[in-house]
Structure 1
Amino acid sequence: MAFEADGGQAAPDFSIGSAMGAAADYVAAGGLNKAAIAKVSAETQKLVSAAKSGGFKISKEGVEPLLKAVRDMGTELTRLERQTIRLSEAPQLGDHPYGRAVAAHDHKGAAQSANSASAVLGDFKRVVMDTEEALLRASGQYEKNEHATVEALDRLKS
């Protein structure tokens, strides 16, 4: 993989490894939540900023396996989001007080709270999209990709 340092500047304070490592640490410690995603997002924003300023560059050949991994993760998160749509309704556990209480608790944890599966998946998907943006910018492919996306959306509108 070919990373190019910006010769005239100090090394930027970012890395793909630190962003993904932060995510892995939180999963190992019991799962992702809003706070964990916020920390990973902060690392990813450093990567985006460095790519925008030209402080992070990568060759087109070097970026391809990283983009594939990031896009595969986006696809997997989309699949998981589709599964969590079913969580937007409280489960039917009976019309007795205990059934209603458990259903409300399950529903809150799955779809309503800030740390719900739906919220965390949505936040993590934004981190993945930001990572893709940083990689595309760093490899000089961002504008080309953005233009292709706009054209595709225009075709869908027609």
Structure 2
Amino acid sequence: KFSFSDIYDPVTFTGCRLAEARVYDLFSKVAPGSMARHLDYAQGYNLTNRMPLFVKPSKPLSVMDTMELFRSHAENTWFDPRGETRRDVGAGPGHSPYRWRPLTWKTADGKRYVNERTIGTQQTAWNFVATSRAWMPAPLRALMWWAPDDSSTGVRIPVYGGTRK
């Protein structure tokens, strides 16, 4: 059986923990109860317990729902970097969800550590949520909500598909 992922981007601990964990967070929110069995994969501990390529949301998602998903810091999950659900010295006394680079590092005695990488992260240059609205006139059908920087804090501005200037 052909696997695009196995050929072009084989799964690794860091791939799961720094990327797939973000997908796990989003899937867990849109399809509650469907992802618990894949926690060990998203943690990077069981690389054979692959997540599905997609999930069916438990309810239709609005543009606002999507924007809210992009703000996630994995609050109240195993990956919550604020140090609320499990100890995380990087959170500091203010329980900050932000982590600075590097995302992984080794101490002098060889111990490896990982900073969780959430969906909403300050390393984002820009982000957008797009929608297509068939009932609108052609210049207004496509609408992109664009924001600079972090998807959890960036102010979104509407950019219509018919915009020329």
Higher relative contact order (CA 8 A, sep 6+): 1
Work out whether the TM-score is over 0.5. Answer: no
TM-score by length of 1: 0.31
Q: Which has the higher helix share?
A: 1
Higher strand share: 2
